[in-house]
């Protein structure tokens, strides 16, 4: 089975994440979307909310599993027997950052990282932009799956 891990904080999931996951499903037998837990980081949405957003978004996609993890991504890959890490690239800065991580992961674990370019229609979207739009009472709903709703 070709299993890929798509790690992230998903605070919140965006249409860019949604696009990469849906395209990843065509390449792999299973895509595990894993929310990394970092106790040092301040999140806008709780872990439970982020997990619910993902589970609801992909409830009709049997090849997508939602999990959470702590620690190194490569260690989690070993636990779940994922042979690949799936990552989306929006721009050259993403590439440089992700390339360094991919090289490190490959050196430490032999795991392959597969990069997909984001769709042109979602390449400008990031979770940090979505959070900023939410904080400033803008219409964030055009940037996220329908399930992501903030209590007004």
Q: Cβ distance 67 to 80 under 8 Å?
A: yes
Bond preceding residue 12 cis, omega within 30 of 0: yes
Residues 34/69, Cβ–Cβ less than 8 Å: yes
Residue indicated by tokens 């800065």: 93
| CA 19 – CA 15 distance, rounded (Å) | 6
Calpha distance 8→83 (Å, rounded): 17
E strand or H helix at 93: helix 92-109
Residues involved in catalysis: 17, 41, 90, 127
């Amino acid at each position: 089975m070709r299993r890929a891990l798509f790690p992230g904080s998903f605070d919140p999931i965006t249409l860019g994440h949604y696009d990469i996951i849906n395209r990843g499903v065509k390449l792999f037998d299973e895509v595990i979307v894993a929310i990394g837990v970092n106790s040092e980081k301040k999140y806008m949405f709780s872990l439970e909310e982020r997990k619910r957003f993902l589970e609801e978004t992909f409830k009709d996609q049997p090849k997508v599993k939602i999990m959470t993890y702590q620690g190194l991504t490569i260690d989690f890959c070993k636990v779940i027997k994922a042979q690949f890490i799936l990552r989306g690239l929006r721009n050259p800065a993403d590439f440089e950052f992700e390339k360094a991580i991919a090289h490190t992961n490959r050196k430490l674990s032999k795991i392959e990282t597969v990069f997909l370019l984001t769709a042109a229609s979602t390449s400008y979207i990031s979770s940090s932009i979505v959070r900023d739009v939410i904080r400033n009472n803008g219409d964030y709903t055009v940037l996220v799956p329908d399930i992501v709703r903030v209590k007004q």
